[in-house]
Structure formats: C-alpha cells, structure tokens
Chains A and B, each alone.
Chain A
Amino acid sequence: MESPFWDMMGMLGIYAPLALGAIGSILGCSAGGQAACGAMLDVESGYGRLVGLSALPSSQTIYGIVVMLSLNRTIEIESAPGLFAIGSLCGVALLFSGWFQGKCCASAIHATKSKPEIFGLSAAPAAIVEGFAVFAFIFALILAGSLPAATGGV
C-alpha cells in the first residue's frame, strides 16, 4: 500500500463501526440512565428493571466490535474504499440507533414509572430501533465478505 490517504481511509473504515457505535451507546445509555435515576426518586420498587432498560443501547458497541473484526485486514488500494464506505456508514447507523434507542428507553422508563403494567410494551419501540441496528450490522458483515480479498488478513 503506497497511498497514505487510502491507508488512512481504510483504517477509518475499519475502526469507525466501533468508535461510532460506542458513541451511540454512550449517548443512549446516558439518556436512559439519567431517566432511570430520575424515576428511582419517584418510585418505591422495580429499580433493577429501570436500570436494565437503560442499558439496552450497549449492544451497538458489541455490533461495532464484531464489524470491526470482520473488516480488519491488511489494507490494499483495491479494498480501502470499500472498507471506508462499509465501516463508516455502518458506524453512523449504529451511532444513531444507539442514541435514539436511549431516547426510547428514557420515554419507556418515564411511562413505566406511573404505569408499571406497560413495562414490556413500552420497551417495544426501543426493540424496534435495535432491529435497524441489527440490519446494519448483519449486512455490513455480508458486504465485508465481498470486498477484494486481502493478501494476509489479520
């Protein structure tokens, strides 16, 4: 690999799913966690499930790790654009899904607080958002397999 530019783009693509997925998890867990803390001031029981719900956006980081490992290889000029495109776009999808899943979790916690019987149903929007993260994750893995083969993957 002689082009530092494409070397950089390739590395960006490899690391983007993890970095952006982690940012999404940070934003999402932060929103959900803050809401859980607030709700705990107002309820007398069921703290565990509130905290559990707030941790849902953690999965984006795990997806990011798996995609990063599947993209990780020796960077060639032929594969660098593909690595960059798949990695960065998958990372952006994971970032937004984590962020907005956290908002869904916060709303679910707020709703559950005054109506505990809707706990399961209130988590459904967060699960749907998770579904889109799974789509981005699965198809990133499939497309990663179609990239030009590396000479000696890691």
Chain B
Amino acid sequence: MTTYYTLVASLPPLPRSFDAGPIPITASTLRHRLSMLTDADRFVTDQLADFFRWDRQPIERSDGDVIARHQQLKRQIRNPLVLRLVEHRFEVRTLVAALRCQRDGAPRPELPALPVSTWIRRHWDKAGFGSSSRYPWVAVFCQALDEKQPKHAQYELFSELWQVWSRLDQQYHFTFESVVLYLARWEILFRWSSQNTELGQQRFDDLVEDILGSSVVPHRESALEFSVGDDRVASP
C-alpha cells in the first residue's frame, strides 16, 4: 500500500462541518499538491473527479443515461473505496429521485442495479418508502421539500454524504484512501460554498478589511471574481 505522508500532511484540515467555514485550500493549490501522487493513483483520482463533474445534473439527462453511466463506472473503477463512494452517491441520488417521483405522483422511475432500488420497488406505496429507520435523513429531507425549502433539503443530503465520508476517513491514515476521502469532502465544501455567493463575498470583505485595512475595499469585487473563477476552472 502506497503511503503519502508528505501529501496528506500538506493538506489543511477540513472543517468539522461543510457549512462551518471557508474552503481551506483552493482548487489550483489542491491540484498542485496532487501532483505528488503516483501515475496509477492519479488515474484513480481523475476517475473520481470525472464522476463528480458528471454528477452535476444537466436537465436533459435521462434515467437511462444515468443507469448506463452507473454500469460503465462499475466496470471501469478498480479501487474499492472509490467504487464505494460512487455507489453511495448513486444510492442517495436514486433515493432522492424516487422520492421526488413519489411526491409528484409520477410513475416509478427506471432504477439502477443497487440494493436501494430493490427496497424502493418493494415499498413504493409507503410514504418515504418506509426507509426512515434505514436512512434517517429521508424524513428531514421530505419535510424540507414539504416546506418548499430546497436548499435545506440539499443541506440534509450533503450532511449525509459528509458524515458517511468523514466516518470512513477515520479508518485511514496517510494512505491513498485518505487522499480520496479528502477530495470527496472537498468537493462537497466547494459545491456548498459555491451556492452561497453572498456569504463568500462578505467573508472575503471581512478578510480584506482585517488584513489590509479599509483603503483597499473598493477593489475587492474583482479579486473575489478572480478567486471564484479560478476555483471553478480547476475543480478536481
């Protein structure tokens, strides 16, 4: 097993919660640090990055496309942890899609080959598929949708992913798996902070004022735009 003492130690700690603070490392710096990976491990992180890029749902994508992609990834991914992360993400997405269909009274969607799909088919007529004991976040997620608070629903989804991946991270120290889990959680941080432009701008203003004083504040907007733009281009 390859160990990455230098790389893991060079990565700043992630906050306890994905909404607890700013992103501790920019995408460009992170990409630079990842150059310490071996070629084989770099290939695996690229696969993960490709998945996260694909995961941003365009509206024209059909259920069939998603299922085909799931099958393709299952065939391609060799690293067990990456496969586990991808499967977990698919599971959560499948559950969310099915919940939305159920709430809208739509017919049951085409489901990928996952254990959760069997559960959904079996419990399609029950509210929330009777899955609250197995997936505790489902009840809160449905409640947020009922209250027309999609952002809160998204928060619950990210919380679920963050907690599962943080728990997994405690099992690995200075290994490639630590790097993979860091990247996965960084992606959540990045997505969440990308949704909150106002908060990001406010924090940037505060930092500029703290460090340089109020005289430079008129220039702050362009600096923020550059920073955010740079991150988006280099998203892993």
Q: Which residues of A contact B (CB under 8 A)?
A: 31-32, 34-39, 41-42, 103, 106-107, 109-110, 113-114
Given contacts A35-B174, A41-B33, contact A109 B3 (CB under 8 A): no
Partner among A31, A36, A37, A39 whose Cβ is within 8 Å of the Cβ of B3: A31
Whether the Cβ atoms of A109 and B9 lie closer than 8 Å is: yes
Task: Enumerate B73-87 residues with CB–CB distance to A below 8 Å.
Answer: none
Which residues of chain A are near B145, meaning CB under 8 Å? none
B13 touches A36 (CB 8 A): no
How many B residues touch the partner, as a band? 10 to 19
Bound Cα distance from A35 to B3, whole angstroms: 11
Q: Which of A38, A103, A113, A114 is the one whose CB lies under 8 Å from B7? A: A38
The reply to whether A38 and B173 contact each other, CB–CB distance below 8 Å, is: no
User: Could you give, for residues 1-30 of chain B, a 1 whenever the CB lies within 8 Å of some chain A CB and a 0 otherwise?
Assistant: 001011111111100000000000000000
User: In the complex the two chains form, is B12's CB within 8 Å of A38's CB?
Assistant: no
Beta-carbon contact of B13 and A34 below 8 Å? no
Separation of A37 and B13 alpha carbons in the complex (Å): 16
Kindly provide the distance from the CB of B33 to the nearest chain A CB, expressed in whole angstroms. Answer: 7
Q: Smallest CB–CB gap between B94 and chain A, Å?
A: 36
Q: Residue on A with the closest CB to B32?
A: A41
A38 to B148, CA, bound (A): 45
B9/A42 in contact, CB under 8 A: yes
Q: List, in ascending order, chain A residues with CB within 8 A of B3's CB.
A: 31
In Å, the complex CA distance between A34 and B6 comes to 5
Residue in B10, B11, B33, B173 whose CB lies within 8 Å of A107: B173
Beta-carbon contacts of B26-55 to A below 8 Å, as 1s and 0s? 000000010000000000000000000000
Q: A31-B3, A106-B174, A107-B173 are in contact. Are A38 and B9 (CB under 8 A)?
A: yes
A135 to chain B, nearest CB (A): 26
A31 to B5, CA, bound (A): 6
Cα separation A36 to B7 with both chains bound (whole Å): 10
In the complex, 24 of the A-B residue pairs with CB atoms within 8 angstroms, ordered by the A residue number, are A31-B5, A31-B174, A32-B5, A34-B5, A34-B9, A35-B5, A35-B6, A35-B174, A37-B6, A37-B9, A37-B10, A38-B5, A38-B6, A38-B9, A39-B9, A42-B9, A42-B10, A42-B12, A103-B174, A110-B9, A113-B9, A113-B13, A114-B12, A114-B13
Q: Which residue of A lies closest to B6 (CB)?
A: A38
> Which among B5, B11, B33 is the interface contact of A106 at CB below 8 angstroms?
B5
User: For B6, what are the chain A residues with a Cβ–Cβ distance below 8 Å?
Assistant: 34-35, 37-38
Report chain A residues within 8 Å CB of B12. 42, 114
User: Of the candidates B5, B11, B173, B174, which one forms a contact with A42 in the assembled complex, judged by CB atoms under 8 Å apart?
Assistant: B11
